[in-house]
Amino acid sequence: MQPAMHWSILKDKHAELVTPHNHPNLNQKSMLGYLFETYIYPGTRINYDGSEYKALNEGVDEPWFYEERETHSDVTFGDKYL
C-alpha cells in the first residue's frame, strides 16, 4: 500500500490500516505453520471463517487453444530468411 515506507514501521502501520478490517482468522503467526496445516496435516479445506468449503460447479472447460499451425524457420521475406 505504501511501498516507500521504511520497514521498521511496517508492523505498526499494518496494525493501524489493515488489522481493523481483517477477519481474525486471517492473521497467522507463521506462514510455514499455515501452509503445513492447510496442505499437509490435517489438510482439510475450509473457508477463512472456519466454515466448510464448497467448490463451485464451473461447468465444462472451454478449449483455450483453437488452431494449430506449423512455424517454419525457412520462411523468406523478400530475399532474406526469417
Task: Please report the pLDDT score of residue 1 as a whole number.
Answer: 85
Q: In this model, does residue 33 exceed pLDDT 60?
A: yes
List C-alpha distances in Å: 1 to 5, 6, 12, 42.
9, 12, 14, 34
Reported as a pLDDT band with limits 50, 70 and 90, residue 22 is very high
pLDDT tens sequence across 41-60: 988 888 888 898 888 888 88
Reported as a pLDDT band with limits 50, 70 and 90, residue 66 is confident
Residue 17 or residue 73, greater confidence: 17
Residue 21 near residue 1, CB atoms below 8 Å: no
